[in-house]
Amino acid sequence: MKRLFNLLVAVFVVGAALYFFLNRSDKSEGEAPVLAGAPANAALLVRGEYLTKAADCIACHTVPGGKGQPFAGGLPFVLPFGTIYSSNITADPETGIGKWSDDDFVRALHDGVRADGKRLYPAFPYTSYTALSRNDVLAIKAYLFSLPKVSQPNREADLGFPFNQRWAMGLWNAAFFKSSRFEADASKPPAWNQGKYLATALGHCAECHTPRNFAFAMDADNNLAGESIQGWRAYNITSDAKHGIGAWSDAEVASYLTTGHAAGRGSASGPMGEAVEHSLQYLKPEDASALVSYLRTVPAKAGKNPIEIDAKAPWAVAASAAAPATSTAEGHEQGLRLFAAACASCHQWNGQGQQSANASLLGTRGVNDPDGANVTQMILQGVKMRVRDQEVYMPAFGKAYTDTEVAALANYVIAQFGNKQGAAVTPEFVAKQRTR
């Protein structure tokens, strides 16, 4: 027992030493690239609003569907080790951050430490926000403090031991985090640096699109190679031509980012749809172009469970808009009946879609993924977002269909439009997806 105690003490001391040595903060301010939508000479609140949207703060700090007030927190994040709830970041002095000083706010974004000295969990992306300049952080704070105050107490995280020990985040930070500001690459064009700042700091793309290791830290060796989050698959957005976006044109990437749709490539939904609705659609064209230029240079990676696209799935091509190809029913009779009843009128039997370009299915990664995560979530949750004064809508069928029916429909869609006969979405998988 004594030997075990001494070992634990040794581990703690070494961990603490590593923390203080490795987690030193780089206090140099650095120089953030000048974004077209947030020039330095713009009014503080104008800059702050643009930066806040680019950082997509509202998506995580607001319960959607009109169930929560903007920025008042309470959105659950279901993680492998428990559930974390986003915090109230309105200027309410009692339940929000109204008493936080400038230094308090900067420390939270740069170092992951709250005003009371307690450590934040990396579900809050301080691991990316650390690269923001102090001026940009304070512009965001000024904008948040200009908004209505909301009195809403924060919910405590529902985590088991040892994950509920916030102090232990100091050791995690020692191993996986370095507080440092963005440094421009002088060998690259200004637009590329703007794009990198948007992708890595403000937009924190890696937080969703980069795989996590055993300790839930981002795997830098597979940056942007794709990951699963909250029951959705955040796709590979490296320059890989087969599994990433390397074969997409610049116009297609920009369109997907700012409108949520790229013809023949896919339509955004789930967390990515939220990013488009609340953040990316507001980027100035110059900033969106800069973001594309940076993504073009992200090293190509196949990622785990890579998806191969069949843009000309034979059953879909053989079908007319009004009727299915006869051979598709074998083994998918129930899915075909469900598709006929609820889906064909919008998506059409050939997957071309009508009424809205967002309804097209051919060439999308969702229908080409045998695991069926995103197709299943789309059936369960539907889509409802507003982009550029247009409503993008698909009804949710989670309450109307049983787990068996959802599985049958998902498997049919993947076989019909992705030519993936090996899809094996099960009722058990659907049941789990419902809880995400």
Q: What is the pLDDT of residues 209-267, one digit of tens each?
A: 999 998 989 999 999 999 999 899 999 999 999 999 999 999 999 999 999 999 999 99
Inter-axis angle of helices 403-418 and 333-342, nearest 10:
90
Query: What's residue 4's pLDDT?
Result: 32
Query: 34-151 is classed in which CATH architecture?
Result: Orthogonal Bundle (1.10)
Query: What's residue 280's pLDDT?
Result: 98
> Which stretches in the chain have pLDDT values below 50?
1-25
Helix ranges, 67-133 (H): 102-111, 126-129
Token pair 């003490």 in the structure block, residue: 9
Task: Return the DSSP state at 157.
Answer: P
- Locate the DSSP E strands across 136-250: 158-159, 227-229, 232-234
For the CA atoms of 204, 208, 213, 215, the dihedral, rounded to the nearest 10 degrees, stands at 80
Query: What's residue 30's pLDDT?
Result: 61
Q: Around Cβ 222, how many Cβ atoms within 10 Å? A: 22
Residue 302, both tokens: 């196949």
The span from the CA of 405 to the CA of 195, in Å, is 43
The span from the CA of 38 to the CA of 57, in Å, is 16
Please list the residues that pair with 227 across neighbouring strands: 234
How many CA within 13 A on the CB side of residue 135? 16
The span from the CA of 41 to the CA of 395, in Å, is 44
Query: What's residue 436's pLDDT?
Result: 82
Is 50 in contact with 38 (CB distance < 8 Å)?
yes
Query: 314-434 is classed in which CATH architecture?
Result: Orthogonal Bundle (1.10)
